[in-house]
Amino acid sequence: MTSDESEIKLVFFDDLHCHLRESSQSVVAKSINSGGSDRVLVMPNLRSPIVTCDQALLYHNFLLDINPHVDYLMTLYLNQDISISDLEMNAARSHVQGIKCYPKGVTTNSSFGFKCFQDYYPLFNAMEKLSLSLHIHCETIDSNPLFSEQNFIPQLHQICNKFSNLKIVAEHVTSKELVDFVKNTPNIAASVTIHHLELLASDVISQMGHENTTADDLCNHITNPHYYCKPMPKTFSDRQAILDVITSGHPRFYFGSDSAPHKINDKLSNNPPAGIFTQPYLALYLADIFSRLNCLDKLQPFVSQYGKDYLLLPEIDNRRHLTLIKQDFKIPELEFDMFRPYKAGQYVSYSIKQNDSLNN
């Protein structure tokens, strides 16, 4: 990456946490390069979850047909249907990077999720030997969503102690407590989203929701469904902890957008799905944020080095570049006539240089 603030030349990068969804794959997969990424870690929580290597390979090839200019790293959904022998024989040929675990009922399409980590100890032991990574949605489901991530940390501590050679990732970190835990625990990393670098709980739910909400009645307190995501943004001090660790250039905190497209009518319903759509404008959001933080020098390693190094991903030779110029860009109100992107109608401080072609 080269930068003089007015113009940034950014190497295409990794988005190591994204959702493509069944109803929107044909358009969303095409937008991956528009956002500046060319390698993505694909989440498995479809309506019928991806639990076998054959399913992962089928999904991989389907996405490749839509957009062949992306390296799709696949994940399986932690579930009793996962077979250790299937992983041993087929994970590599099926492009399976790791396994994603969702506590049962905690977020979109998580009804097939796990209840007890101990049930999967034999699987985790096999994953260590196969160099497969474990990606964890770190929330309990029986507490106020503003504290559910912090309350999950004892379970993380248990897994990190038991499996010291397992590559563990705390996905989409939101709390100071989890930031501190990752910083102090050498065998775990954390992915960081764009929206959690900016949003607070007050941008999403009412003050009454701060004080009294539970997982069961959270929807009653949502004031901006387009900013509703899981885990929830937290307090100013939580956000500041994430910003501080990013600006420090900590090598175990890396970029994963958690971009999740949901149709606008669904987001405006009485029970909106969790998820914020950022995929087509990742580079613009990131440049805007890192410029305001006065740490543009930390941007390229955050998006293309730290995650690669931690997960032992191969280098991508001859990656393309995109050039961003210091010129305001207005995020569209709608994308593909059905999704409202993050910060719709607002301006970010960078634009793509017009002679850069990102979609092929």
Task: Using a pLDDT cut of 70, give the percent of the chain over it.
Answer: 92
Task: Using a pLDDT cut of 90, give the percent of the chain over it.
Answer: 81
Residue 23 reports pLDDT greater than 90: no
Are 17 and 172 within 8 A, CB to CB?
A: yes
Residue 306 reports pLDDT greater than 50: yes
Task: Summarize pLDDT for 167-199 with one digit per residue, the tens.
Answer: 999 999 999 999 999 999 999 999 999 999 999
pLDDT of residue 108: 60
Amino acid at 237: S
Coil, helix or strand at residue 237: helix
Residue 360 reports pLDDT greater than 50: no
Domains, the chain: 2-352 (3.20.20.140)
Of 95, 113, 96, nearest to 104 by C-alpha is: 113
CA–CA dist 342, 335 (Å, integer): 10
Task: Summarize pLDDT for 238-294 with one digit per residue, the tens.
Answer: 999 999 999 999 999 999 999 999 999 999 999 999 999 999 999 999 999 999 999
Task: Summarize pLDDT for 94-124 with one digit per residue, the tens.
Answer: 999 999 998 875 556 555 556 789 999 999 9
* Residues 13-17, mean pLDDT to the nearest whole number: 99
Are 84 and 122 within 8 A, CB to CB?
A: yes
CA–CA dist 68, 70 (Å, integer): 6
Are 135 and 114 within 8 A, CB to CB?
A: no
Beta-carbon contacts of 327 under 8 Å, excluding residues fewer than 6 positions away, are 350, 351
* Residues 199-207, mean pLDDT to the nearest whole number: 92
Whole-structure pTM value: 0.94
CA–CA dist 74, 229 (Å, integer): 22
pLDDT of residue 355: 59
Instruction: Look at 210-224, 255-269, 334-348 and tell me which has the smallest mean pLDDT.
Output: 210-224
